[in-house]
């Protein structure tokens, strides 16, 4: 048999089911890889080996094999609370915080039979779209360690791309699953608002952040997403959220079969274009063209789309982004000095906002949501570039001027945040490699509750591009 990390997550699950692998053996295999390779990559901020071994033995003895993730390793993003494990939120301010209770998503993945190996790195409080900060080393892109991994689920993306995990959960409030997935050559799914009961987004400011999977294949992403939606199996039983419309049944079948022909839009405009200088790199356009050509060959209908200008979007989104930082638990100069400069600026701007400004921003984004869905409603899905530029070098973002920093983030990731504002599902797919060997991908935006369509189209593209066979060259081994 191939080494376990060379198998897909679904193949590893099948090996667990047949007894070819045990949860303990699989956990030990990945912990060995993490110990050897993580120092050069910065994927993990906390490794919980003893807890993982104990958990793997408990799964073997006490958890039914019918559990959706039985024995499969994963890791919690360091924005999620796991009782007894440090939760540092990518911040020096939180370096000593150890929660006493676990978040709902953590409990759901445990119920699904998964085995957590630790915590993956994230930028400070998950605010930027890159995983670099003062609290620890950057998350480095396995395809080229001089480049960043994106964010805020950067550590999760590095871990999956470098085969330190079979897949990983992330959270996505403005692109935080899809951006690092695209940068690291992975499949990343942002579910519809309300789809994942334990991290629905409905209870968050603006309804922006939801939980979603990062994986190497479309089927692996569906496997993890199914477990997030119904951790007890295929029946929702007591797990309840304001679900997205359409079928709440398992999504894995759609990802495996990859059936259907759909009407698709193709779009290179974004909600940021009126206020920021967004220029698509040739590599981004090449990825879009490659996906479009193959979708045409597969028999899908394709129409060009362009967003209607909306001058209210940029100031409204900036307001919500700043307001989200207002509750950071930093009081006084001494604690504020522990924050990264960007976080400190966001927190201060957020705390200075008036209730009226916040209410007006929320109203503007609600209006954008209705308009965005209306403009896309005549197609089954919309194809966009995943990122506007190739993966950015570590240290590329301005750490002194927050306005320039924000502009850089927009110029790199203009196609993601509008999906969070609209509550729609989206998937990022790694369709090609550049001449320098870097992954470049595309994004598909679906209708409300349209994850099955996105996974089906993704599976069709995967059969052609075979991205699951691409492996980072691992020049960082032994560094």
Q: What is the pLDDT, as a whole number, of residue 238?
A: 45
Give the whole-angstrom CA distance, residue 112 versus residue 461: 29
What mean pLDDT comes out for the span 50-71?
A: 98
Q: Burial-class residue 113 by CB neighbours within 10 Å (0-12, 13-18, 19+).
A: buried
Residue corresponding to tokens 């209908």? 301
In contact, 212 and 182? CB cutoff 8 Å = no
pLDDT at 341 over 70: yes
Token pair of 156 as six digits: 């999760």
341-351 vs 313-325: helix crossing angle, rounded to 10: 100
Mean pLDDT of 276-303: 98
- As a whole number, mean pLDDT of residues 263-277 equals 97
Q: Write down the domain spans for the chain.
A: 7-469
pLDDT at position 247, please?
A: 58
Out of 24, 121, 129, 152, pick the active-site residue. 152
Catalytic residue among 77, 121, 129, 417: 77
What pLDDT score was predicted for residue 233? 81
Average pLDDT score over residue span 307-320: 97
Residues 84-115: tens digit of each pLDDT: 999 999 999 999 999 999 999 999 999 999 99
In which element (H, E) is residue 104 found?
helix 104-111
pLDDT higher than 80, residue 244: no
176 is catalytic: yes
CATH architecture observed for domain 7-469: Alpha-Beta Complex (3.90)
Can you read off the two tokens belonging to residue 250? 């398992």
pLDDT at residue 20 in the model: 97
Least confident of 230-234, 293-297, 466-470, 474-478: 474-478
Kindly report, residue by residue over 109-123, the tens digit of the pLDDT: 999 999 999 999 999
Q: Given pLDDT bands bounded at 50, 70 and 90, which one contains residue 477?
A: low
Nearest by Cα to 189 from 179, 198, 197, 199 = 179
Average model confidence (pLDDT) for the chain? Answer: 95
What pLDDT, on a 0 to 100 scale, did the predictor assign at position 478? 45
479: pLDDT strictly greater than 50: no
- Residue 440 · residue 1 · CB < 8 Å: no
Determine if the pTM surpasses 0.85.
Answer: yes
Confidence of residue 249 (pLDDT cuts 50, 70, 90): confident
Please tell me whether the peptide bond between 245 and the residue prior to it is cis, using omega within 30 degrees of 0.
Answer: no
pLDDT tens profile 420-452: 999 999 999 999 999 999 999 999 999 999 999
Q: Percent of the chain beyond pLDDT 90? A: 94
Concatenate the DSSP letters of all residues of 298-346 into one string: TT-EEEEE-PPP-TTHHHHHHHHHHHHHTT----HHHHHTTS-HHHHHH
pLDDT at 239 over 60: no
Q: State the catalytic residue, choosing from 116, 121, 129, 176.
A: 176
Give the mean model confidence (pLDDT) for residues 119-146.
97
The yes-or-no verdict on residue 235 having pLDDT over 90 is: no
Neighbour count for residue 289 (Cβ, 10 Å): 14
In this structure, what are the phi and psi dihedrals at residue 172, rounded to the nearest 5 degrees?
-140, 105
pLDDT band for position 3 (50/70/90)? very high
Q: Is 204 one of the catalytic residues? A: no
pLDDT tens profile 367-412: 999 999 999 999 999 999 999 999 999 999 999 999 999 999 999 9
The answer to whether residue 24 is catalytic is no
Contacts of residue 310, defined as CB under 8 A and 6 or more positions apart, other chains included, come to: 271, 274, 368, 371
């Amino acid at each position: 048999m191939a080494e376990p990390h060379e198998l897909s997550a679904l193949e590893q699950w099948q090996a667990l089911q047949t007894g070819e692998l045990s949860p303990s053996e699989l956990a030990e295999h990945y912990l060995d890889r993490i110990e050897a390779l993580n120092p050069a990559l910065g994927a993990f901020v906390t490794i919980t080996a003893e807890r993982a071994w104990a958990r793997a033995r408990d799964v073997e003895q006490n958890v039914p094999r019918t559990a959706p993730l039985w024995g499969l390793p994963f890791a919690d993003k360091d924005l999620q609370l796991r009782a007894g494990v440090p939760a540092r939120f990518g911040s020096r301010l939180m370096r000593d915080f150890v929660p006493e209770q676990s978040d709902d998503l953590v409990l759901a993945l445990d119920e699904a039979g998964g085995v957590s190996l630790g915590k993956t790195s994230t930028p400070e409080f998950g605010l930027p779209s890159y995983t670099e900060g003062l609290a620890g080393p950057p998350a480095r892109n396995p395809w080229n360690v001089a480049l960043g991994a994106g964010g805020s689920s950067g550590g999760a993306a590095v871990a999956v791309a470098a085969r330190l995990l079979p897949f990983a959960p992330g959270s996505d409030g403005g692109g935080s699953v899809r951006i690092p997935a695209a940068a690291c050559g992975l499949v990343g799914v942002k579910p519809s608002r309300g789809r994942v009961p334990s991290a629905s987004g409905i209870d968050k400011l603006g309804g922006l952040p939801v939980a979603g999977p990062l994986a190497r294949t479309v089927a692996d992403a569906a496997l993890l997403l199914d477990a997030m939606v119904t951790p007890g199996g295929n029946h929702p039983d007591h797990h309840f959220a304001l679900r997205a419309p359409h079928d709440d049944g398992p999504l894995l079948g759609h990802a495996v079969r990859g059936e259907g022909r759909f009407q698709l839009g193709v779009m290179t405009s974004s909600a940021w274009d009126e206020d920021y200088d967004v220029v698509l790199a040739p590599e981004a356009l090449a990825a879009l063209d490659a996906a479009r050509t193959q979708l045409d060959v597969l028999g899908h209908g394709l129409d060009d789309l362009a967003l209607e200008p909306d001058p209210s979007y940029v100031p409204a989104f900036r307001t919500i982004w700043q307001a989200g930082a207002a509750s950071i638990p930093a009081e006084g100069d001494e604690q504020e000095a522990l924050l990264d400069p960007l976080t400190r600026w966001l927190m201060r701007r957020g705390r200075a906002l008036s209730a009226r400004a916040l209410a007006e921003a929320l109203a503007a984004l609600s209006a954008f949501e209705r308009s965005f869905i209306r403009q896309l409603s005549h197609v089954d899905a919309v194809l966009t570039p995943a990122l506007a530029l190739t993966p950015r070098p570590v240290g590329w973002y301005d750490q002194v001027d927050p306005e320039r920093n924000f502009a850089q983030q927009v110029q790199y990731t203009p196609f993601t945040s509008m999906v969070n504002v609209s509550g729609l599902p989206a998937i990022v797919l790694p369709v090609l490699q550049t001449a320098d060997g870097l992954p470049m991908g595309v994004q598909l935006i679906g209708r409300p509750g349209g994850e099955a369509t996105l996974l089906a189209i993704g599976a069709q593209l995967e059969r052609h591009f075979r991205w699951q066979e691409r492996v980072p060259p691992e020049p960082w081994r032994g560094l």
